[in-house]
Amino acid sequence: MNKKGFSIVFMIIEIIIVVFVVYSTISIANVYGSSKTVNKINLASDIQMMVNTLVASPADAFVEYPGDVSEYKIFLYQDSVKVYIEGDGENQQITRFFVLPEGYSAVGSLVEKEKLCLKKSSRDLFLEECQ
């Protein structure tokens, strides 16, 4: 290959590297800087602690989450809570675990609804939309 040919190849490589670096920097900053990721983690942790608090309550009770959760899909299982946004991959879904006493159950889901309520009725915990 002559000098001109090499120059063109190098120029293409230079452009590709610069574009790659700029794209990765922006996409990484976007992923980490987005408040949605942080909110997702905080929401899952809050629900985890709400479950633990309700389990400690000797009577029936219900708690309304003080925030708008309409962007999230929330699923409560027997041993965990999962929070994610439409289009999230498996590794972007946030799961928090908890341990329920024997005989207790936890169930419920909330898909893109504004108000989240967690209700304890006897030994059953329900995650649902607030009435």
Partner 1 sequence: MLKEKLKGLVFRRMSIKKTTFNKKGEGFGIARKSIYWTIASVVSVMAVIALVFIFTIYQGKLVYNSPELEAEVIILRFINNPECFAYQDEVTSRVYLGTIDLEKYTQDNLDKCYFPEEDKGYETYNFGFNLESLNPLNDEGEEIMLRTNNYFNYVDFTIYKEVIVRNGHTLTPTTLIIYVQEKI
Enumerate binding residues for partner 1 (CB under 8 A). 1, 3, 6-7, 10, 13-14, 17, 21, 24-25, 28-29, 32-33, 37-38, 41-42, 45, 49, 52-53, 55-59, 79, 97, 99, 101-103
- What are the CA-CA distances from residue 13 to residues 4, 6, 22, 61, 128 (Å)? 14, 10, 14, 63, 54
Measured from the CB atom, the residue of 37 and 129 that comes closer to partner 1 is: 37
Shortest distance (Å) from residue 52 CB to partner 1:
5
Residue whose structure tokens are 């915990």: 125
Tell me which residue of 47, 41, 69, 45 sits closest to 125, measured CA to CA.
47
Shortest distance (Å) from residue 129 CB to partner 1:
24
The amino acid that residue 52 corresponds to is N
Shortest distance (Å) from residue 131 CB to partner 1:
26
Shortest distance (Å) from residue 49 CB to partner 1:
5
